Structure 1
């Protein structure tokens, strides 16, 4: 196989990773629509489907999305933010929002079994994540210095790292405590949204995006998407205050939709992007 073929195959692989991140959420969306038509109701959050017939698709969609976010490689800050988003997505999938309610309906032996299952899952993900970080560092593909190319990137990367350390601390505390893992799901969901926001914010001020054609996103799109994502978080408090039971469900899909649109813009912009060799005319 020639090096030119390898470059083309690598580009195709990247394209399919991007397409998969647009298509995979459709699995859960279709399942939720079918569930709603059959049962005549909509749950109060996406994670509520964890306890229903859509559980398998819920977990599969989030875990596969998390893995794809980690696998995808971009600019240093974007890559870091997407790695964190993938990390948090897996915990949104593995630790249900109503675990305490579920445990109260089980026998003592079943409660212990479920708690042990969650504990094992948490430890397994943390160990694999630690190995991944070590391999990234060992292969020199990532260094902390690459995250501090500007004041904005420094602030975003440090904030993300502090949030990550706090979340890992929460995981250890809840795992040792071994009761209902309160706060883990909501913390992971919030940090997932914030990490997606950081990935979008990483495009602000990038000189290589100042001149792009109409097939992709323009710099102003990133700022608008960030504002809309922030309004979505505020909207959750407003809808919740109004007593709308599906407030969280609405906001979750709203945020997913915004990030999917961002991913669509980036996919179009980079679909025919030339490789470094092509830029040099080789």
Structure 2
């Protein structure tokens, strides 16, 4: 029996996330191999001709992650929503680059004793993005809360209502946190906002993979992929992502006394070690629930 239109829409939305991630990968690879632009992180390609694809991809992925309903596992949908909210922030606040890096044909000149910074020419765009996200985010958050209350989807009496209540609480916390961050500490927001959003974004994605490894068959009724091999793949993906986060944290702390001595491509390597496994997980989960669609369909 072919999937219903609702299930097909859900499946194609999930495939759209994979298409967008592939789009970004191809764009970065083009700069890396064809234009011989070797940068230390994927985020740094914001300052190359890949900028349009970088920003568009992350905003598109962010919207999709918020729209996609997670499985009925503890916090899975909440973490997808958090990741979706953070993705546009990562897109619109560029990562700081080392002083002397060539951006728009000119070397970056960082103020004071800073060894890395966001070029001042990009600050108007960051401010525009912050105001845009702030205004649209406020409207969206209020609309979601009103609709959730109106439809009776908040409360603590059922799992679904608990998930909705926790999700709205998390969303409010993330929104208010970044607004206060920008308004109260704008210079720090410009310098570190990218990382403050990117780290919890990757943690949220890792959590989704981990939750599926711990509860691989929760609620399953039909599937294109059955058997313990899928469970083991989820577990392997979760282990790889957790190790990547831990190794990155340890390496960052161990080299904090000598940032200039760090391997030039260490952030790029960490990003790949997180994105590739998560994309693999996303494909596996999409295949596993292909005939099931979103919970409740």
Normalising by structure 2, report the TM-score: 0.73
2:87 counterpart residue number = 89
Partner Cα distance (2:57, 2:71) in 1: 25
Q: Secondary structure at the match of 2:187?
A: coil
Q: Mark the CA change 1:276 to 1:21 in structure 2 (over 3 Å): closer, same or farther.
A: closer
Partner residue in 1 for 2:142: 131
Alpha-carbon distance between aligned partners in 1 of 2:59 and 2:250, rounded to the nearest angstrom: 30
CA distance in structure 2 between the partners assigned to 1:224 and 1:211 by the alignment: 23
Look up the match of 2:26.
30
Q: What does 1:45-56 correspond to in 2, within 5 Å? A: 45-56=41-52
Distance in 2 between residues matched to 1:175 and 1:75, nearest whole Å: 36
Aligned match for 1:234, one of 246, 251, 257? 246
Shift of 1:136: 3.5
Could you tell me whether the CA contact under 8 Å between 2:90 and 2:194 is conserved in 1? yes
Count of residue pairs the alignment pairs up: 263
**1:93-126: per-residue Cα shift (whole Å, max 9, x none)?**
111122883444x4xxx85x34531331331343
2:39 corresponds to which residue? 43
Q: Deviations over 1:190-220 (max 9, x none)?
A: 1111111222233323543599774576334
CA RMSD between the two structures = 3.7
Quote the Cα distance in structure 2 between the aligned partners of 1:221 and 1:210. Answer: 19
* Larger CA deviation: 73-82 vs 61-70: 73-82
Compute the TM-score of the two structures, normalised by the length of structure 1: 0.77
What is the match of residue 198 of structure 1? 207
Alignment correspondent of 1:10: 6
SS in 1 for 2:241: helix
Q: How does 1:128-207 map onto structure 2 within 5 Å?
A: 128-134=139-145, 135-141=147-153, 143=155, 165=173, 168-181=176-189, 182-203=191-212, 204-205=214-215, 207=218
Cα drift, residue 38 of structure 1: 3.0
What is the distance in 2 between the residues matched to 1:274 and 1:168? 32
Q: Give the CA deviation at 1:61.
A: 0.4
Deviations 1:246-271 (A, max 9, x none): 11111112211111111111111111
Q: Indicate how the Cα distance of structure 1 residues 230 and 202 shifts in structure 2: closer, same or farther if over 3 A, else same.
A: closer
| 2:83 is the counterpart of 1:72 | no
- State the shift of 1:12 in Å: 1.1
In 2: Cα distance, 1:94 partner to 1:128 partner? 19
Cα distance change on mapping 1:17 and 1:215 into 2, 3 Å: farther
> Any conservation in 2 of the 1:119–1:175 contact (CA below 8 Å)?
no
Greater relative contact order structure (CA < 8 Å, 6+ sep)? 2
Q: Where is the helix percentage greater, Structure 1 or Structure 2? A: 1
| Residues in 2 aligned to 1:255 and 1:276: alpha-carbon distance in whole angstroms | 26
